[in-house]
């Protein structure tokens, strides 16, 4: 539980923001009876307090930016009560707790079309995945060089599962497989710690514990790495070597763009040749349509 200590300028922002969120909602929108005795439009403080399960005094103090204890759970209830958008939720957490809001499980419908266009426009392989490492987007070069995720059943389209369980090629070199497993689990532990109370995350861990001996053996270790960067060289990539890193799209803290850049001159030449082939295919398709 965090204690609110809001600078005067931010206190004014918090007051105006919460008042504005109350004013835009009608009692009917939140399931309350509407009466003619209301002197101001929107919800009253006592309405918000009742719906969020807090006292009127406590909510009043929050709206006034007073020095009080505020838990993430209570803030989430206020966000829900006031029908806040994801951006508004982030803004409230920043004002009150001076930190980003806890991430929520991502859905394919959450992906901005601009993010998809960015991935498609890259001249290197790239995927879009959730914090749970579920693959929800990929570009043509990823399909050509690594694998076509569209051919994998959606319930198995998880990068950790693919690398450790479903793709036997990664187990051909026992030492490399062990090193890869330790490296990716060091990053996966960090992502897991940042997404609490996600039943899908817990289900994946239970399944991998049962299905994957190396996951069962390594998961309990205390190795953690916050950065997803490494050199990848595997027969699945046609002898090419890639360096990969990940980025968080702006406004989508629960998503990751994982980008693979050719690491040496030979790999760069091969990728350029594949890019040229893809452009030629796209050009032919456009000609047929026109």
> Which domains occur in the chain, in start order?
2-97 (1.10.260.40), 108-289 (3.30.450.180)
- Residues 59-76: what's their mean pLDDT? 88
5-9, 113-117, 178-182, 208-212: least confidently modelled range: 5-9
The closest alpha carbon to 122, from 149, 142, 136, belongs to 142
Q: pLDDT-based confidence at 67, cuts 50/70/90? A: confident
Half-sphere CA count of 23, side-chain side, radius 13 A: 8
Q: pLDDT-based confidence at 155, cuts 50/70/90? A: confident
Query: Between residues 34 and 68, which one has the greater pLDDT?
Result: 68
What does the pLDDT look like over 1-40, one tens digit per residue? 555 556 788 888 999 999 999 999 888 888 787 765 656 6
* Beta-sheet strands, E only, within the chain: 2-3, 69-70, 126-130, 135-138, 230-233, 241-247, 255-262
Cα–Cα distances in angstroms (integers) from residue 87 to residues 58, 94, 132, 167, 251, in the given order: 24, 11, 21, 38, 7
What does the pLDDT look like over 230-273, one tens digit per residue? 777 765 666 788 988 888 888 777 889 999 999 889 889 988 88
Please say whether the beta carbons of 181 and 174 come within 8 A: no
Please say whether the beta carbons of 248 and 232 come within 8 A: no
- Residues 141-163: what's their mean pLDDT? 90
Q: pLDDT-based confidence at 181, cuts 50/70/90? A: very high
Residue ranges of the alpha helices (H) in 71-171?
72-81, 86-97, 113-121, 140-145, 159-161
Residue 159: pLDDT over 90: yes
Give the model's pLDDT for residue 207. Answer: 93
Other Cβ atoms less than 10 A from the Cβ of 140: the count is 20
The predicted model scores a pTM of: 0.66
Which residue in this structure is represented by tokens 């039943």?
199
Give the model's pLDDT for residue 3. Answer: 56
């Amino acid at each position: 539980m965090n204690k609110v200590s809001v600078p005067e300028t931010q206190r004014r922002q918090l007051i105006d923001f919460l008042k504005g969120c109350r004013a835009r909602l009608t009692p009917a929108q939140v399931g309350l009876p509407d009466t003619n005795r209301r002197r101001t439009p929107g919800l009253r403080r006592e309405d918000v307090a009742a719906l969020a399960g807090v006292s009127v005094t406590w909510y009043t103090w929050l709206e006034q930016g007073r020095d009080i204890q505020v838990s993430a759970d209570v803030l989430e209830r206020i966000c829900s009560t006031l029908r806040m958008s994801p951006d508004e939720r982030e803004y409230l957490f920043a004002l009150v707790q001076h930190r980003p809001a806890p991430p929520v499980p991502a859905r394919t419908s959450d992906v901005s079309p601009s993010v998809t266009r960015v991935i498609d426009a890259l001249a290197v392989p790239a995927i879009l995945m959730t914090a749970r490492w579920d693959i929800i987007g990929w570009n043509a070069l990823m399909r050509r060089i690594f694998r076509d995720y569209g051919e994998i059943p959606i319930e198995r389209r998880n990068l950790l599962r693919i690398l450790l369980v479903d793709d036997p090629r990664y187990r051909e070199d026992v030492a490399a497989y062990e090193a890869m497993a330790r490296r990716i689990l060091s990053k996966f532990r960090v992502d897991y710690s940042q997404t609490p109370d996600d039943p899908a995350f817990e289900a994946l861990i239970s399944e991998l514990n049962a299905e994957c001996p190396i996951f069962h053996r390594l998961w309990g270790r205390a190795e953690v790495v916050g950065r997803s960067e490494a050199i990848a060289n595997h027969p699945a990539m046609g002898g090419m070597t890639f360096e990969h890193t990940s980025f968080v799209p702006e406004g989508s803290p629960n998503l990751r763009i994982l980008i693979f850049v050719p690491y040496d001159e030979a790999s760069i030449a091969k990728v350029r040749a594949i890019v040229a082939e893809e452009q030629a295919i796209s050009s032919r398709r456009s000609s047929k349509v026109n």
